[in-house]
Structure 1
């Protein structure tokens, strides 16, 4: 199991996996596969790190309704990151049944 990061009051954390080390591409693929297996619709958002907790995030294209290709979703995450290199980029899984987010996590943390 990965080492959990200690809490630092001066450092803001966000989303599900922010207390763990950055995920490898393989682990990100597994999370995307889980999102797809649940039947959730993926969406990608991005924002500047300083605005992450006080502003709405920018939507990258429209949500990918019905998308089941993990590779296409990975490619869109990478495209968003390349177009906005200093931004946080997160993946969201929208659940049609509960009309809420089933999952959300930051894939790219700013300049990383």
Structure 2
């Protein structure tokens, strides 16, 4: 199962050149870029571990790509994603977010549905063991 979160998640993995192009696009827009990683990509896990502080003053993608590569090397079995924040209106919002690394084997999730009283449907996401 392939985890689909963020921009480009339904496409094949981006090549290094495509990652660099997307990072440069974000920097050209004046967006701050950050790198995050996790071993738990559950959809409700919105707090991934930050790889250093957000890069507010960079204008060249090479600096961000270097941090991406360092994070990937330090966490080879984690998901790694890049986020770009736009603070131009006085509040930060994510304008671009995409995964740049996945573990060799993605465990995925299973959706359990239970019917309750009055035909109420309850749903729960559970980790799947194995792909």
Specify if TM > 0.5: yes
Unaligned runs of 5+ in 1: 1-9
TM superposition outliers: structure 1 runs of 4+ over 6 Å: none
Q: How many residues align?
A: 101
Point out which structure has higher relative CO (alpha carbons under 8 A, 6+ apart).
1
Report what 1:25 is aligned to. 16
Structure-2-length-normalised TM-score: 0.72
CA contact (8 A) 1:95 1:101 kept: yes
The one of 87, 96, 100 aligned to 1:107: 100
- 1:52-67 aligned at under 5 Å gives the runs 52-53=41-42, 54-55=44-45, 56-67=47-58
RMSD between superposed Cα atoms in Å = 1.5
Kindly name which structure, 1 or 2, has the bigger radius of gyration based on alpha carbons. Answer: 2
Unaligned runs of 5+ in 2: 106-131
